[in-house]
Amino acid sequence: MTDAHLTPPGSPPPPEKTQNVFERIAGVLFAPAETFRDIARRPDILGPLLVILILGYATTAVVMPKMDFSSVIAQQAEQMRKQNPNMDEEQLQKMERITTASMKVFGWVAPVVMVAWYALVALVLMFAFRLFGGEVGYKQALSVTLYSWMPLVLFGIILTVVVLARGTFDPATAATLVKSNLAFLVDMKEQPVLFSLLSSFDVFTIWMIALLSIGFATVANVSKAKAAAIVISLWIATIFVKVGFAALGASRMK
């Protein structure tokens, strides 16, 4: 006899199995449509957030000691000499100590700062989808955002492996250590605007954008085409801002 014949008439259907955080991470990366349907029914935040933070701090612990800050300090010293040709050696040494300390502090604070960034991205996406007729709550939006960020977490793991194999590196070249974008074709110091633009079109970032589109199409109950249009439009807007800051920085260096 089949299970259907053994189920008493009128009894509720058996509860659907809920995926744990690791099953959801694997599912989002390789079977996103089905996984996001499960997330839409039961969104979770703590699990993916802890995974992101733990791996973020593990990456920081490995990568930070390998950073060679001398190139960044030399660039800042050159800029400060242009602005103030009368700077003495003591002032430059003080600037070097402050720069080194601030970069190390930022490296350890960055994973926590990113939590605020995830929250902001989820909030903006939620309002954008509601504006265009979607039906999505903030918990769903944040859960989709966190799981969609997993390609960049994977990038961090690959970057850590590359750094361990390579040794010390210039922090300014971090975006090109993993050859997942075309920014390595240009010199960041000579063409900062083009470098910023090319580094934005990264394989892992595009993967994340695709996941955000699939995820929000599912939780907001809109077409994938509309979801992709909303997500890609916001992404392009952030690229314009990023390239604009690069152009501003380049003009100040002249």
Provide the token pair at 164.
Answer: 């361990």
Per-residue pLDDT tens over the stretch 72-96: 677 776 677 666 666 666 766 777 7
- Is residue 152 situated within a structural domain? yes
**Under 8 Å between Cβ of 42 and 140:** no
In a domain, 12, yes or no: no
- Is residue 14 domain-resident? no
Can you tell me which residue has the tokens 């960044």? 72
Contact criterion met (CB below 8 Å) for 179 and 197? no
The answer to whether residue 245 sits within a structural domain is yes
Give per-residue pLDDT as tens, 7-20: 455 555 555 667 89
Among 232, 163, 238, residue whose Cα is nearest residue 200 = 238
Compute the radius of gyration of the chain from its Cα atoms. 23
The predicted pLDDT at position 253 comes to 61
At residue 165, the 3 state secondary structure works out as: helix
**Residue 246 vs residue 99, higher pLDDT:** 246
Residue 146 domain flag: yes
Number of domains in the chain: 1
Residue 5, in any domain of the structure: no
- What is the reported pLDDT for 22? 95
Range of the domain at 125: 19-170+178-253
In a domain, 108, yes or no: yes
Kindly tell me the burial class for residue 39, based on how many C-beta atoms sit within 10 Å of its own C-beta (0-12, 13-18, 19 or more).
buried
Question: pLDDT tens for residues 117-167?
Answer: 999 999 999 999 999 999 999 999 999 999 999 999 999 999 999 998 988
Alpha-carbon gap, residue 81 to 92, rounded angstroms: 9
Tens digits of per-residue pLDDT, 30-43? 999 999 999 999 99
Q: How far apart are CA 6 and CA 2, in angstroms?
A: 7
Question: 214 to each of 153, 203, 211, how far by Cα in Å?
Answer: 18, 17, 5
> In the prediction, which pLDDT does 67 show?
82
**Higher pLDDT, residue 99 or 27:** 27
pLDDT digits (tens, 9 = 90+) for 57-76: 999 888 888 887 776 677 77
Q: Is 13 a member of any domain?
A: no
Structure token pair of residue 169: 């590196």
Strand partners, 169: 67
Please count the residues of the chain. 254
Helix (H, G, I), strand (E, B) or coil at 186: coil
pLDDT at 4: 47
Q: Is 165 exposed, middle or buried (0-12, 13-18, 19+ CB in 10 A)?
A: exposed
